[in-house]
Chains A and B, each alone.
Chain A
Amino acid sequence: MSKTILEMDNVTIRFGGLTAVDSVDMKIEEGTIRALIGPNGAGKSTIFNLITGIYPPTGGEIRFCDTPINGFKPHLITEMGIARTFQNIRLFSEMTVLDNVKIGRHCRTKAGFLGALLRGPGVKSEERAITEESMEALKLLELDHKSDELAKNLPYGEQRRLEIARAMASNPKLILLDEPAAGMNPQEKQTLMSMIRKIQDKGLTIFLVEHDMKFVMNLSDRIMVLDYGRKIAAGSPAEIKSNPAVIAAYLGKEVG
């Protein structure tokens, strides 16, 4: 029914002799929630790094809204509408919560250093708009009451949510969440799940990596499974649960 927003075509990346991602094909439809699962070291975060331009792929093609984005710099890809969070939280720790989110607005605003020096009316109203929109993103993740705190002083679960708020501030079409529920207790996970649903309701597409199977199965429309850099299965949560290759991959190493 809906159109494809992200497409990976035979994407491969090698680091020296190691093939971290091996000929992966994938299509994500607009407005859906897609999960990427697999044992540790399967190449999940590497896929995120390929999509966001941190690593250029060794082979294959990545298309976003039908535009090939291979070799684009990360900031251009963000500008096109892909935002992300990081597995090992990467906040600007010495900045306030609000300023962290304001960085997310960077690619949608334009005042440069001259604007900063002269502070004309245009710059001032842009800055006001940045503050308002950033506060909105904080509200969505229920962090608005903490806007003046330094990011590093937030508890772990809130730091994860702040990363999502920061990504949301860039008005993405597609948001990549790298283990958003890691380190959260069951109640926090429940809240997070409803927040992600809210994000989906805003028309965004969500692509997430997560280890918590209950979380993944409840939330996602479709799931892709990766092992040793190769796609071993893809389908609906029910199909994945009963897929023998997936069970083998997981039981071989860890019980998910």
Chain B
Amino acid sequence: MLSQQILNGITLGATYALIALGYTMVYGIIQLINFAHGEIYMVGAFVGVFMITVFQQGLVISLAAAMLACVIMGVTIERFAYRPLRRSTRLAPLISAIGLSIFLQTLMTKIKGPQPIPFPHVMEDALYKLGPIEISKVQIIILVVASLLMAGLHFIVKYVKIGKAMRAASEDYDTSALMGINVNRVISFTFAIGSSLAAAGGVLVGLYFNSVSPFMGVSAGLKAFCAAVLGGIGSIPGAMLGGLFIGVAETLGIAGGFDTYKDAIAFTLLIIVLLFRPTGLLGRPIQKKV
């Protein structure tokens, strides 16, 4: 029973982790809490539904299309709503992000209505028994896709030139700019990667819970953000760990009878962790500079 809950938690956590990666990468480089990220995830889910229902595409093509659409969206948002504010107070781009978030939510409500719509039926669901645990086909898909995407991200960050540039910019923005790294390109690329992962998360969550709504980005975005901070914002493994941690904690909390407190679990954990490790589980401690 416990192992079953943990598996469910890991599945949920994997989707949180996909969203959390976008928060953490963007924060790592430009110290912006991109509060419109949850909306990108929501739009991704809708694009997925749209591809399946209107264009009759399969899951793989729809997933890819959602990711591509969100890459364009993420890069555009950065270019027009954040870049002009890069050298101003830290709160300015944050307010811009909140404005965007309101815009995207109401835009989607205008197009699709405020009610959740069901995710189209793309495949027969099946349950597989693994000893005491049951795993559904959807869960397998989520875990496989999420793992592949995260492995891909790891490869890019570790071995590809632009990924290395990302790491450099996140280490020291000004120095990397002086060293000839085109930071604008790096930042665009970071938004592209983060948005594509969020879109994938959106499609997978739609598939898992069989529901998509214009407001799905609010709570998921907030919890994924929590995951990013819990793991240590700016740290890619931290975001993965934080996502899984919160997914498992939430699932266990619900199974333990705290379902009405579900939305508070992630935040309670977050505050406790911050009080003991002010920069998150895998975050680097801040050295007071005088």
Contact = CB atoms under 8 A, between A and B. Distances in A.
A and B touch in the complex (CB under 8 A): yes
B222 to A, nearest CB: 33
Contacts of A49: 290
Contacts of A5: none
Contacts of A55: 288
A55 B287 CA distance: 11
Contacts of B288: 54-55
A45 interface: yes
A156 B59 CA distance: 63
B116 to A, nearest CB: 48
A86 interface: yes
- The size bracket of the interface on B is under 10
B255 to A, nearest CB: 42
Interface string B35-55: 000000000000000000000
A150 to B, nearest CB: 17
A75 B2 CA distance: 52
Contacts of A54: 288, 290
A86 B289 CA distance: 12
A123 B287 CA distance: 39
Contacts of B290: 45, 49, 54, 86
| Interface size range on A against B | under 10
Interface in B169-187: none
A191 to B, nearest CB: 27
A49 B287 CA distance: 14
B65 to A, nearest CB: 49
Nearest to A88: B290
A234 to B, nearest CB: 24
A209 to B, nearest CB: 13
A144 to B, nearest CB: 29
Interface string A81-94: 00000100000000
A49 B290 CA distance: 8
B284 to A, nearest CB: 12
A225 to B, nearest CB: 22
A42 to B, nearest CB: 16
Interface string B271-290: 00000000000000001101
A45 B287 CA distance: 15
B89 to A, nearest CB: 12
A45 B289 CA distance: 11
Interface in A51-71: 54-55
A86 B288 CA distance: 14
Contacts of A86: 290
A136 to B, nearest CB: 28
A54 B288 CA distance: 9
B198 to A, nearest CB: 37
Interface in B210-266: none
Nearest to A46: B290
A15 B288 CA distance: 11
Nearest to A49: B290
Interface in A9-38: 15
A55 B290 CA distance: 10
B285 to A, nearest CB: 10
A148 B241 CA distance: 53
Nearest to A178: B290
Interface string B191-211: 000000000000000000000
B10 to A, nearest CB: 35
Nearest to B288: A54
Nearest to A52: B290
A66 to B, nearest CB: 27
Contacts of A15: 287
Nearest to B287: A15
A149 B290 CA distance: 25
Contacts of B287: 15
A-B pairs, 5 with minimum CB distance: A49-B290, A54-B290, A45-B290, A86-B290, A54-B288
7 contacts: A15-B287, A45-B290, A49-B290, A54-B288, A54-B290, A55-B288, A86-B290
Interface of A: 15, 45, 49, 54-55, 86
